[in-house]
Amino acid sequence: MSIITSQEQVTSLAEIGIILLLFTIGLEFSFKDLWKIRLIAIIGGALQVGLSFAFFCGLAFLFGRVENTPNFSFVCRKTSGNTLSE
């Protein structure tokens, strides 16, 4: 007798959990504190996106992926997108 019976329910509950977690973290920050670290946050975020993009694109070239293959484009775009959203 299970409460959760399908993969869609697990996915929905996981998304709700992430939303609540991000909301809770958002309540912890104040705009004053965020304004104090704005330079570090902007530079750090840009470096994280740029370096992860370069690293995974370099790995793709190292393993023989070419620019026009869907896997290469996906990995590069997905990597930078995930770091940006985290």
Q: What is the pTM of this model?
A: 0.47
Compute the distance between CA of residue 52 and CA of residue 39 in angstroms, rounded to an integer.
Answer: 20
Q: Which tens digit of pLDDT belongs to each residue from 40-84? A: 988 998 898 888 878 877 877 787 765 655 555 665 565 545 444
Q: What are the sequence ranges of the domains in the chain?
A: 1-29, 37-85
CA distance readout (Å), 65 to 37, 57, 69, 73, 76: 38, 9, 7, 10, 11
